[in-house]
Chains A and B, each alone.
Chain A
Amino acid sequence: NAGVMQNPRHLVRRRGQEARLRCSPMKGHSHVYWYRQLPEEGLKFMVYLQKENIIDESGMPKERFSAEFPKEGPSILRIQQVVRGDSAAYFCASSPQGQGVHEQYFGPGTRLTVT
């Protein structure tokens, strides 16, 4: 039973390019969460998605960031026109249910470096 998969593990982009981060949840999990860890800071919630629905994107920057979780395929976190301040580790987690006691299981993260 594979865990949460994220790819790529490392991504380098020049300023102004687009970054696409992918997350495949654990088998049987239909709830996905994205968190960001800026250098030397704690993790912060970005967005919570179910299949084909964004439930809460209150932690997403208002511009340039978007997320989706299509019916088929992985969840995608997309960052347009990246800037140096987007350099961070982006972690994805999944769970079988959303609210309540259910544990969130984390992927290995994608480290984005913007040059």
Chain B
Amino acid sequence: GESVGLHLPTLSVQEGDNSIINCAYSNSASDYFIWYKQESGKGPQFIIDIRSNMDKRQGQRVTVLLNKTVKHLSLQIAATQPGDSAVYFCAEGAYNNNDMRFGAGTRLTVKP
């Protein structure tokens, strides 16, 4: 029979545009968040993290925003490139232990 799998949210952007990937997390007690990138056929790769005592953190071409009031996390990618095409996962958990929970992921496709 037909299998039913996760239908990942999909974001399609033009090369050079900025991308915003969103994540709603579930546990208001979570105080540590990580964004991962997973390219086809590879394992997830750490991009950037943020603790709950911050609401913004910047890396190289990436910015993570945290809104604890509405339990929302976003990843902004500046000047998106074809190499950014991947599935992006957010993970939430507690900073003082290693129980991180992964979201379902968002597929980003960059059109040249």
Decide whether A and B are members of one complex.
no
- A-side residues, CB < 8 A to B, are none
